[in-house]
Amino acid sequence: MRHDKFHGRVEGSGRACDAPGCPTAGEFRAPGGRSPGFDGPGDYRWFCLDHVRQFNAGYDFFAGMSTEEIMAAQSPLAGWERETRAFRPDAGIDGAPRWNDFADPLDAIARRARMRREDALHRQDAARRGIGPEERRAYEIMGLGFDADRKALRARYSQMVRKYHPDRNGGDRSYERQLQEVVEAYNRLRASNAFT
């Protein structure tokens, strides 16, 4: 495809002009019956240069709008009152658009959305209990819930040391990093307010 001095011209598209009875190639795109929106890019019509000029001369963006809708569309703030998908806190992953209906036999996309929701609820629960990010990470490393007591912490620590310590697991030193994380998490939780 080549672009030339006319802005928007697409040569070699292979489309015929959509004007009735016009045999010329349709090289200029014009809005179609369905405008772009959340459900996709919308429909377009393709015209030759003469017919796109004719279309543009009679095009009315505000056709079918009430006076209030026209005033709102002309406002300098038009479009800023709603969050775009990219800037929403959940990045729009919880509400996929209709054009994106697809089969998800492995439940990969829905699982990701569920995990994000569960993670958000987990963070909110931790914040409500006064647990900071470092302590929350320590709970995750130890595999404990926020309601665990000192006895559960000691039991879980003993279990993980038996699993990761080379003196306890037959000399396997490949778990040294995990063991270090477990020891640091245990010490952090043991010193926290929840276990004092």
Q: Which tens digits make up the pLDDT trace of 156-186?
A: 999 999 898 888 888 888 889 999 999 999 9
The full set of domain ranges for the chain reads 1-82, 83-129, 131-195
What is the dotted CATH code of the domain comprising 131-195?
A: 1.10.287.110
Q: What is the pTM of this model?
A: 0.44
List pLDDT tens digits, range 65-113: 899 888 888 887 776 666 666 666 666 665 555 555 667 777 777 788 8
> Across the strands, what pairs with 30?
45
DSSP three-state, residue 41: coil
**54 is written with which tokens?**
């004719």
**49 is written with which tokens?**
């240069």
Q: What is the mean pLDDT of the chain?
A: 81
Tally of CB atoms within 10 A around 140: 11
Return the pLDDT at 189. Answer: 92
Q: How confident is the model at residue 122 (pLDDT cuts 50, 70, 90)?
A: confident
- How far, in Å, CA of 111 to CA of 85, rounded? 19
